């Protein structure tokens, strides 16, 4: 129904604790839910836990506990984690809840009465990890392609759902609705699965082997197969078959899943719905997998990422931003803490954090904290900025709608970069001295641009967005309408200075580098793939210098002041005092960068830079020459 948005995550198995993979899906669902609330739609966001079946029963047996106790314990871990990650779901469903059991039994009876469930015998290769049979073509070397484990051959008398009966209908539905399964690669994968006749779906387990499940209403000796039970949670969650929620939300249903559970969602579920007589869901959105440090995440490799640890180190908004920005929706991605730190520093601390902090400080300094009404004509620069803000907002909306969340964020960052450039170009610090009217125009446009940014980052970084809008005196007014007009911010508003949004990189604990050459090799590889043009290198003037004088700096353990002959005498303050005594330095021929902008270090003028490397013992070693060079000669 129009104006409604129903989003679900998979319900997670309770045989393990939540990890990065579960967090990714759930955060993306939250981002979409927040975005659609912003659009003014009625939103229902469902997540929860999948608690029946072999997998849970086996894990409980191995741990010496009962399936119920295991489910209670691990379900609570999921439920309690979500608020910690700013995930705001409307319901947390458990498949052991009475309303779900009732719905599953009602649907089983309905499908049975329609003649779509029959009793028969089947033998096949089963993966307990996936809780499903694999066909010969799906198996890889006799193993499960997802868990890389031997499959178990099972032959039993069971109940079967006539899935094959609906195959041609499903092909037709997918073909007529090309965005039913997205991105497209997964739609094609599913059409591939449907090319051959389907095995009917085994939907029961004999109680003699497994009792942890929902009893079949038409045969007490059997329980329901866990996938048939689990998929129905999407109906129970919104009150099927009765209730306004179900009527409003079902036709807008969008499921979000990882690629590992494509078949149950793309084949079992729509055919089940068809048999029940319900419309299929609107979209199945399929994302790729996170690998960790280029390897599959797994308990045995010990590389399972703990989300709360990352939240504690970097803050929840930065973690959410990284998840959204780093993974191209639909493709696999690699998770590394180094990459997270890099994004944190570049995008958040530098680009966004700096923009907000320098701008709010200027309002405080030049206007005493009250943003002046713009009191002058607009120039091309302002018109450009206005045009760009509106263009970025439209681009952002289209991309969010299309699930290109990573590029929606990239769009927002083009506006952030443009705002930083606008500040550098218009130089408010100079206008403050010469042209107060123009200053008022410029500062207004910066702050209004920041407002656009803050509104757009809300779904991904709700806390940061709220803090920025709060500083602009606009908290709690989220609506997409705010992005249709440049000029909502009122002159005369008091603007505060927020506490540092993203404390600088130095305060982050960098993870330990793995011992040995592996880590360094990787770093080097990255540097070497970051190729530059020879003209870039030519910008750097390197000359042979001879150290004429060296003296220690009082109150500094690190600095030495050097007088160096590079064709003329220059002074450099270098941080090498712990590695060289002044006496050792005098007379050395070294490599010097001579065209750096002068800087002051502890009040000492420094007009260049030395080159050095780290030794294996952790000392510095200056770059020198193996034959006597001529002083002041260019190094090429
Ligand atoms: N219980 C079933 C789903 C039933 S839905 C009616 C299940 N549970 S699960 O606990 O195994 O969760 C699988 C989901 O977790 C994936 O589809 C994906 O959403 C998420 N992820 C688990 N590992 C992942 C990665 N390494 N990367 C990204 N997401 C992955 O399957």
Catalytic entry in 36, 52, 125, 127:
127
Show Cβ contacts of residue 274 under 8 Å, excluding neighbours closer than 6 positions. 166, 169, 170, 280
- Cβ of 26 below 6 Å from ligand 1: no
Q: Looking at residues 541-549, what average pLDDT do you find?
A: 91
pLDDT at residue 438 greater than cutoff 80: yes
- Cβ of 24 below 6 Å from ligand 1: yes
Tell me the best of 16, 23, 24, 95 to mutate to test the pocket of ligand 1, counting ligand atoms within 8 Å of each CB and taking the most.
24
The CATH architecture assigned to 335-483 reads Orthogonal Bundle (1.10)
Percent of the chain predicted with pLDDT > 90: 71
Q: How far, in Å, from the CA of 268 to the mean position of ligand 1?
A: 17
CA-CA distance, 89 to 70, in Å (whole number)?
A: 23
Looking at the CA of residue 261, tell me the nearest atom of ligand 1. Answer: 17
Tell me the best of 78, 261, 307 to mutate to test the pocket of ligand 1, counting ligand atoms within 8 Å of each CB and taking the most.
261
pLDDT band at 522 (very low <50, low <70, confident <90, very high): very low
Q: Distance between the two ends of the chain, CA-based, in angstroms?
A: 69
Largest CA distance in the chain: 98
* Of 296, 324, 260, 342, the residue nearest 10 (C-alpha): 260
- The domains of the chain are located at 4-304, 335-483, 535-622
pLDDT at residue 580 greater than cutoff 70: yes
Q: How far, in Å, from the CA of 31 to the mean position of ligand 1?
A: 18
pLDDT at residue 528 greater than cutoff 90: no
CATH class of 4-304: alpha beta
Predicted confidence at residue 344, as pLDDT, reads 95
Q: How far, in Å, from the CA of 177 to the mean position of ligand 1?
A: 25
Q: What are phi and psi of 373, to 5 degrees?
A: -65, 140
- Cβ of 25 below 6 Å from ligand 1: yes
- Cβ of 11 below 6 Å from ligand 1: yes
Q: What is the pLDDT of residues 218-254, one digit of tens each?
A: 999 999 999 999 999 999 999 999 878 898 999 999 9
* Of 40, 89, 2, 33, the residue nearest 478 (C-alpha): 40
- Cβ of 22 below 6 Å from ligand 1: yes
Q: What is the pTM of this model?
A: 0.80
Instruction: Tell me whether residue 127 is one of the annotated catalytic residues.
Output: yes
Predicted confidence at residue 519, as pLDDT, reads 36
Looking at the CA of residue 289, tell me the nearest atom of ligand 1. Answer: 27
Tell me the best of 14, 16, 25 to mutate to test the pocket of ligand 1, counting ligand atoms within 8 Å of each CB and taking the most.
25
Q: How far, in Å, from the CA of 22 to the mean position of ligand 1?
A: 6
- Cβ of 273 below 6 Å from ligand 1: no
Predicted confidence at residue 317, as pLDDT, reads 98
Nearest protein CA to atom 30 of ligand 1, as residue: 21
Instruction: Tell me whether residue 224 is one of the annotated catalytic residues.
Output: no
Instruction: Tell me whether residue 130 is one of the annotated catalytic residues.
Output: yes
Q: What is the pLDDT of residues 195-213, one digit of tens each?
A: 999 999 999 999 999 999 9
Looking at the CA of residue 256, tell me the nearest atom of ligand 1. Answer: 19
CA-CA distance, 319 to 311, in Å (whole number)?
A: 6
Q: How far, in Å, from the CA of 89 to the mean position of ligand 1?
A: 17
Catalytic entry in 68, 102, 149, 299:
299
Q: What is the pLDDT of residues 369-394, one digit of tens each?
A: 999 999 999 999 999 999 999 999 99
Tell me the best of 11, 22, 32, 213 to mutate to test the pocket of ligand 1, counting ligand atoms within 8 Å of each CB and taking the most.
22
Helices (H) and strands (E) in the chain, counts: 23, 25
Q: How far, in Å, from the CA of 286 to the mean position of ligand 1?
A: 11
pLDDT band at 553 (very low <50, low <70, confident <90, very high): confident
Predicted confidence at residue 318, as pLDDT, reads 97
Predicted confidence at residue 505, as pLDDT, reads 52
- Cβ of 260 below 6 Å from ligand 1: yes
Q: How far, in Å, from the CA of 301 to the mean position of ligand 1?
A: 18
| Burial (CB count within 10 angstroms: exposed 0-12, middle 13-18, buried 19+), residue 603 | exposed
Instruction: Tell me whether residue 52 is one of the annotated catalytic residues.
Output: no
Tell me the best of 260, 270, 301, 322 to mutate to test the pocket of ligand 1, counting ligand atoms within 8 Å of each CB and taking the most.
260
- Indicate the CATH number for domain 535-622: 2.40.50.140
Catalytic entry in 130, 202, 265, 287:
130
Catalytic entry in 165, 207, 259, 296:
296
Q: What is the pLDDT of residues 445-455, one digit of tens each?
A: 999 999 999 99
- Cβ of 198 below 6 Å from ligand 1: no
Lowest average pLDDT, out of 85-99, 301-315, 325-339, 411-425, goes to 301-315
Q: How far, in Å, from the CA of 289 to the mean position of ligand 1?
A: 9
Is the peptide bond preceding residue 183 cis, with omega within 30 degrees of 0? yes
The angle that helices 20-38 and 316-326 make with each other, rounded to 10 degrees, is 90
Instruction: Tell the residue number behind the tokens 């209670």, with chain if given.
Output: 72
Ranked by mean pLDDT, the top range of 116-130, 418-432, 505-519, 546-560 is 418-432
Q: What is the pLDDT of residues 161-197, one digit of tens each?
A: 999 999 999 999 999 999 999 999 999 999 999 999 9
Cα 96 to chain centroid distance, Å, stands at 31
pLDDT at residue 524 greater than cutoff 60: no
Q: How far, in Å, from the CA of 18 to the mean position of ligand 1?
A: 10
Q: How far, in Å, from the CA of 84 to the mean position of ligand 1?
A: 20
Residue 601 has, within 13 A of its CA and on its CB side, a CA count of: 21
């Amino acid at each position: 129904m129009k104006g409604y948005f129903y989003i679900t995550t998979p319900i997670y198995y309770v045989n393990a604790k939540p990890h990065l993979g579960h967090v990714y899906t759930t955060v993306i669902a939250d981002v979409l839910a927040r975005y659609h609330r912003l659009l003014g739609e009625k939103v229902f966001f469902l997540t929860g836990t999948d608690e029946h079946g072999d997998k849970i029963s086996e894990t409980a047996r191995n741990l010496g506990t009962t399936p119920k106790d295991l489910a209670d314990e691990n379900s609570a871990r999921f439920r309690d984690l979500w608020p910690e990650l700013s995930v705001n779901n409307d319901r947390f469903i458990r498949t052991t809840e009475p309303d779900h059991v009732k719905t599953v039994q009602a649907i089983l009876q309905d499908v049975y009465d329609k003649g779509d469930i029959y009793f028969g015998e089947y033998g096949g290769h089963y993966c307990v990890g996936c809780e499903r049979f694999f066909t010969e073509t799906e198996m890889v070397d006799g193993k499960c392609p997802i868990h890389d484990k031997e499959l178990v051959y099972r032959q039993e008398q069971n109940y079967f759902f006539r899935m094959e009966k609906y195959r041609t209908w499903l092909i037709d539905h997918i073909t007529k609705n090309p965005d039913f399964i997205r991105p497209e690669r997964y739609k094609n994968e599913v059409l591939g699965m449907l090319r051959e006749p389907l095995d009917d779906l085994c939907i029961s387990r004999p109680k003699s082997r497994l009792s942890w499940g929902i009893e079949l209403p038409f045969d007490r000796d059997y329980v329901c197969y866990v996938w048939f039970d689990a998929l129905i949670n999407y109906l129970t969650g919104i009150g099927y078959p009765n209730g306004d929620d179900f009527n409003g939300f079902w036709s807008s249903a969008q499921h979000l899943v990882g690629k590992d559970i494509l078949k149950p969602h793309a084949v079992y579920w729509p055919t089940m719905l068809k048999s029940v007589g319900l419309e299929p869901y609107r979209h199945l959105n399929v994302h790729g997998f996170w690998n960790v440090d280029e390897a599959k995440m797994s308990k045995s490799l010990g590389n399972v990422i703990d989300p709360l640890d990352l939240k504690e180190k970097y803050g929840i908004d930065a973690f959410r931003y990284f998840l959204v920005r780093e993974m191209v929706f639909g493709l696999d991605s690699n998770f590394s803490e180094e990459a997270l730190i890099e994004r944190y520093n570049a995008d958040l601390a530098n680009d966004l954090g700096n923009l907000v902090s320098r701008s709010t400080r200027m309002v405080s300094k030049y206007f005493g904290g009250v943003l002046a009404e713009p009191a002058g004509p607009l120039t091309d620069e302002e018109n450009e900025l206005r045009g760009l803000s509106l263009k970025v907002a439209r681009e952002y909306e289209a991309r969010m709608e299309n699930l290109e969340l990573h590029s929606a964020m990239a769009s927002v960052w083009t506006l952030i970069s443009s705002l930083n450039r606008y500040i550098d170009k218009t130089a408010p610090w100079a206008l403050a001295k010469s042209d107060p009217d123009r200053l008022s125009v410029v500062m207004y446009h910066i702050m209004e641009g920041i407002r656009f940014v803050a509104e757009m980052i809300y779904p991904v970084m709700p806390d940061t967005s709220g803090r920025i809008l709060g500083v602009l005196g606009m908290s709690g007014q989220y609506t997409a309408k705010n992005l249709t007009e440049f000029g909502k911010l009122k002159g005369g508003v008091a603007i505060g200075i927020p506490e540092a949004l993203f404390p600088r990189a130095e305060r982050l604990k960098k993870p330990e580098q793995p011992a040995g050459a592996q880590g360094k090799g990787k770093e080097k590889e990255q540097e070497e793939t970051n190729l530059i043009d020879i003209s870039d290198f030519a910008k750097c003037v390197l000359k042979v210098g001879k150290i004429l004088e060296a003296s220690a700096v009082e109150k500094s353990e690190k600095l030495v002041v050097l007088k160096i002959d590079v064709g003329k005498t220059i002074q450099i303050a270098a941080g090498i005092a712990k590695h060289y005594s002044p006496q050792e330095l005098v007379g050395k021929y070294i490599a010097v960068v001579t065209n750096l902008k002068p800087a002051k270090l502890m009040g000492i003028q420094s007009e260049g830079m030395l080159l050095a490397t780290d030794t294996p013992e952790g000392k510095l070693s200056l770059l020198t020459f193996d034959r006597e060079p001529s002083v002041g000669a260019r190094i090429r």
